[in-house]
Amino acid sequence: MEQEKITTAKTAETEKTAKISKKRILSGIQPSGDLTLGSYLGAIRNWAALADEYDCYYMLADLHTLTVRQVPAELRRHTLTQVAAYIACGLDPEKNVLFVQSHVPAHAQLGWVLDCYTMFGELSRMTQFKDKSAKNADNINAGLFTYPALMAADILLYQADLVPVGGDQKQHVEICRDIASRFNGIYGDVFKIPEPYIPQVGARVMSLTSPESKMSKSDKDPNGCVYMLEKPEDIARKFKKAVTDSDASVRFDPAGKPGVSNLMQIYAAATGRTFEAIEAEFAGRGYGDFKKTVGDAVVELLRPIREETEHLLADKAYLEGVYRAGAERAAYTANRTLSKVFKKVGLLAR
Ligand code: TYM
């Protein structure tokens, strides 16, 4: 009996030490629409593999979505679906902290503090701000402009070592590092300086119909973007319609052959094949055959995720349990950083 107690205590101690020494990860996706193949290949797919090695926090960045007008009921539906999709993509809620950003008030609180340590000039240089303000010319709001400071708060609250994102978010992780270094320069080592973690293949999935721009849920052409939970026949149809070129050879050349190279990237990410192997596989075969094979590979990649997401969505109580528990665990970590920051900047403790 006594021996058993000692062993249990030892295990708890070992787990605690392991947790302390594990590096930490934070990332998130905006639930502003259905998840895309781009966000899957660029981000989520790489998250599940990290759970054993890292202490992982994955959020649903719902506060960020408010920078563009949302339909309230749709936002709620997308948020719940995204919780289910995270789990269906292999994120075990016991091993990963899955939470909704707005459920942890520390994000908005630290976001405000960091607004005051972020410069107008550096925010003006953000590519996403320029793109989104061009797309939403009638709603260039302050939130759209200060978005990177809130994203910095998301990351810094958890003292994250790594931020796994697609290539388009690299600039935001860089400004987060600048803000953290500036703050640390004034107040000492308050924040861990995070590193971006960008996949080798799939970091930039392009639109199927205009391969010079990123695949995105805000794409005006519905055929350009593939959604993770889309019906197989729709996915297959979009790939059949994908833009290629008049050269009829499957060769990786992003500048000269952006459409074909994008399809090769997607196929490589979906199957683990190298570009050389793909070129050899389709040598002498037409584009029709190539596009069909890529479409089929994506359908098979996404099929189990769609089925599992639908299955999980039937159990709302379970999903609520997941995000409630996630918010509690996230808030515990986030509030420790927030208290430290409040103290450092001179806010009176309650
Ligand atoms: P969001 O919601 O636009 O995209 C979510 C993730 O998916 C990646 N991604 C892509 N990767 C490759 N090809 C594509 N076509 C593609 N489209 C999207 C993005 O790089 C991202 O990793 N600001 C973030 C959300 C966020 C966040 C954070 C991320 C808020 N706070 C803290 C990391 C840490 C965004 O808008 O991602």
**Residue of 170, 217, 292, 340 marked active site:** 217
Amino acid type, 16: K
pLDDT digits (tens, 9 = 90+) for 175-220: 999 999 999 999 999 999 999 999 888 889 999 999 999 999 888 8
Label residue 13 by pLDDT band (50, 70, 90): low
Domain ranges of the chain: 20-203+315-345, 222-312
Atom of ligand 1 nearest to the CA of 150: 31
* Whether residue 154 has its Cβ less than 6 Å from ligand 1: yes
Whole-number Å distance, alpha carbon 180 to ligand 1 midpoint, is 20
Task: Over range 143-165, report the average pLDDT.
Answer: 97
Task: Over range 105-127, report the average pLDDT.
Answer: 97
Mean pLDDT, the chain, rounded, equals: 93
What class is the 222-312 domain? mainly alpha
Measured in whole angstroms, the distance separating CA 48 from the mean position of its chain's CA atoms is 12
Whole-number Å distance, alpha carbon 349 to ligand 1 midpoint, is 35
CATH number of 20-203+315-345: 3.40.50.620
- Give the closest residue (by CA) to ligand 1 atom 19: 166
- Those residues with Cβ within 8 angstroms of residue 62's Cβ, 6 or more apart along the chain or in another chain: 30, 31, 75, 79, 100, 101, 102
Of 33, 30, 28, 29, which Cα lies nearest the Cα of 229? 33
pLDDT digits (tens, 9 = 90+) for 65-84: 999 999 999 999 999 999 99
Predicted local confidence at residue 201, as pLDDT: 83
* Whether residue 39 has its Cβ less than 6 Å from ligand 1: yes
Six-digit token pair at 196?
A: 């971006």
pLDDT digits (tens, 9 = 90+) for 222-273: 999 999 999 999 999 999 999 999 988 999 999 999 999 999 999 999 999 9
Task: Over range 48-75, report the average pLDDT.
Answer: 96
CA distance 319 to 218: 27
* Whether residue 37 has its Cβ less than 6 Å from ligand 1: no
Task: Over range 287-312, report the average pLDDT.
Answer: 97
Predicted local confidence at residue 259, as pLDDT: 97
Predicted local confidence at residue 127, as pLDDT: 95
Predicted local confidence at residue 154, as pLDDT: 98
Predicted local confidence at residue 136, as pLDDT: 87
* Rg from Cα positions in the chain: 22
CA distance 146 to 115: 7
In terms of Cβ atoms closer than 10 Å to its own Cβ (0-12, 13-18, 19+), residue 91 is: buried
Task: Over range 155-174, report the average pLDDT.
Answer: 96
Label residue 1 by pLDDT band (50, 70, 90): very low
CA distance 55 to 20: 9
Percent of the residues in the chain that have a pLDDT greater than 70, as a whole number: 94
CA distance 25 to 193: 12
Label residue 19 by pLDDT band (50, 70, 90): low
Predicted local confidence at residue 223, as pLDDT: 95
Dihedral of the CA atoms 34, 204, 199, 270 (nearest 10)?
Answer: 70
